Amino acid sequence: MVLYDTEMIFWHTYYPKEMFPGVKPLEATLSERLEYTASRAASMDASFREVHARVRQLEKEYNEVQLKNEELNKGN
């Protein structure tokens, strides 16, 4: 089954060994896997928002520098 294979590949790829010490990935319950996946998604979303805010700030600073540079070039 394709969905099962995809889910198993994901779980084996991203399974955090420290999350369930001594437990093999397939022994973790579906609810434990879903809880882990949800927490990872929330963490990645928060990280994305932080990075996106920083990019917007850098773009703003860059545009301000460009405007000042253009003003200085017009003065010369």
The DSSP result for 12-72, as a single string, is: HHH--TTTSTT--GGGS-HHHHHHHHHHHHHHHHHHHHHHHHHHHHHHHHHHHHHHHHHHH
Q: Is the pLDDT of residue 4 over 50?
A: no
The residue range of the domain holding 36 is 6-75
Angle at 22 between CA 20 and CA 26, to 5 degrees: 70
Residue 26 lies in a domain: yes
pTM (whole model) above 0.85: no
User: Percent of the chain at pLDDT above 70?
Assistant: 62
Question: pLDDT per residue over 10-33, tens digit each?
Answer: 555 555 555 555 555 556 677 877
Q: How much is the pLDDT for 56?
A: 94
CA distance 36 to 10: 12
Q: Does a structural domain hold residue 1?
A: no
Number of structural domains the chain divides into: 1
Identify whether 10 is part of a domain.
yes
pLDDT band at 1 (very low <50, low <70, confident <90, very high): very low
